[in-house]
Structure 1
Amino acid sequence: MTQHPTAEERRPANDGPKAAARNRAALIAAAREIYAEHGLGAPLSGIARRAGVGQGVLYRHFPDRAAVANAVLEENVREVEQAAAASGATLSGVLGVLTWHLTESAAFIGLLHADRTDDRTDGVHAHASALSERVARSLRGHLTGGHRLGGSDDLMLAVAMVSGAVTGPTREERERRALAAWRLLGVEVGAVRPFAG
């Protein structure tokens, strides 16, 4: 006699909070990839599909498009801040982390170009301006007296100029161009990599 599994035996284990954390991380990773390919206007359904979850799961974590974009950008900024706050951090090391994020995320480039004088009230733009200021603060904390980027707007202007050079079909090409731009500005950049904690 064939024994069929009961409904309880067929149901996958509920990982509860672990699954929720995994799903959120997968959604942010998928959004980063989708935004890099298609920009911030990419359909949310594509993000959910790439993360391997349903759209209901996406909306459980992120109620709207602005919330998804803000989560991706927040992660970029948090890594730059962590690199800046790490013991023994240097400007060149923090710029290496910043440059890695520039080569990985078109959305992050857009964040750094947020116009602080624009008074639009959309959720992404308002949050992007605050995040951009956090990046500037993290970098400014490592400027030494007399540094060539020490002028009032020089540092973020240099970051904007470098981010404008970050183009190309591959991550390697974007990194090569970013490093060439820093070199032309006479700024030393450390290893281009994510912050490893």
Structure 2
Amino acid sequence: MSSPRRANRGPAAAAENRAALLAAAKAIFSERGLDVPLSLIARTAGVGQGSLYRHFPNREAIILAVFEENIGQLEALVADADSTLDELLSEIVDQMTTASAFFEPLQLVDSADPRLVGVIERMFALLSDKLDDESRRGSIRADATAQEIFLAIGMLGAFLNKTPERDRVAVARDGWALLLRALRS
């Protein structure tokens, strides 16, 4: 998984280094969980630890940056006026299947960290946006709330965190199908 170290190009490489660190973090966190050594992320990205800490001063910062990227993908989907809640939920489940570790901190709804609270609020806004539009709600019942959907997502995420990687796709599919039965009309 480790890649050769690139030559130091200084500030000119900052954006490229940040992108490499995010890609490495996403892959490693998905494979091994959120408690991996940060030095492994730097090595995998092909940068020094100094670069990692310049961009992400601590573990929470890099985890939140990956959240931001994932939420950005969801927001882009929701921005399409024709997208439905079913499509949004399908994308969330896909993200959970490949990176279940990222949904673990979202279960900390009482978090005092304003950055995490912001991510949770953005997720609620995405869900509410589609729930509030009858034509975009899809198959989800009219009285379903963003809180209920968030709870279902959290339950599936917690279960997937304990599921071996080789079984995650099947378990995610079956688990989400079961939860959808409770959320559908």
1:88 is paired with a residue whose SS is coil
The aligned residue for residue 39 of structure 2 is 45
Contact kept, 8 Å, 1:76 with 1:108, in 2: the verdict is no
State how far apart, in whole Å, the 1-side matches of 2:169 and 2:130 are. 22
Structure 1 residue 26 corresponds to structure 2 residue 20:
yes
Q: Greater shift after overlay, 140-149 or 51-60?
A: 140-149
State how far apart, in whole Å, the 2-side matches of 1:132 and 1:40 are. 18
State how far apart, in whole Å, the 2-side matches of 1:149 and 1:101 are. 26
State how far apart, in whole Å, the 1-side matches of 2:19 and 2:151 are. 32
State how far apart, in whole Å, the 1-side matches of 2:143 and 2:176 are. 12
Once the two structures are TM-superposed, the CA of residue 37 in structure 1 deviates from its matched residue by: 3.1
Q: Where does structure 2 lack aligned partners over 5 or more consecutive residues? A: 1-6
Q: Which TM-score applies when normalising by structure 1?
A: 0.73
State how far apart, in whole Å, the 1-side matches of 2:158 and 2:100 are. 10
The aligned residue for residue 121 of structure 2 is 133
Quick one: which amino acid aligns to residue 51 of structure 1? A
Once the two structures are TM-superposed, the CA of residue 87 in structure 1 deviates from its matched residue by: 3.4
**Poorly superposed stretches of 4+, deviation over 6 Å:** none
How far does the alpha carbon of each residue in 1:173-196 deviate from its partner, in whole angstroms, 9 at most, with x for none? 312212212211235xxxxxxxxx
The equivalent position to 2:65 in structure 1, one of 67, 71, 78, is 71
2:180 is paired with a residue whose SS is coil
State how far apart, in whole Å, the 1-side matches of 2:124 and 2:59 are. 25
The equivalent position to 2:101 in structure 1, one of 89, 103, 107, is 107
How far does the alpha carbon of each residue in 1:36-59 deviate from its partner, in whole angstroms, 9 at most, with x for none? 233322211111011111111112
Instruction: List aligned pairs for 1:80-159, cutoff 5 A.
Output: 80-116=74-110, 118-119=111-112, 125-143=113-131, 144=134, 147=141, 150-151=144-145, 153-159=147-153
Percent of aligned positions that are identical? 38
1:153 is paired with a residue whose SS is helix
Contact kept, 8 Å, 2:17 with 2:45, in 1: the verdict is yes
State how far apart, in whole Å, the 1-side matches of 2:52 and 2:71 are. 22
In structure 2, the CA distance between the partners of 1:16 and 1:98, relative to structure 1 (3 Å rule), is same
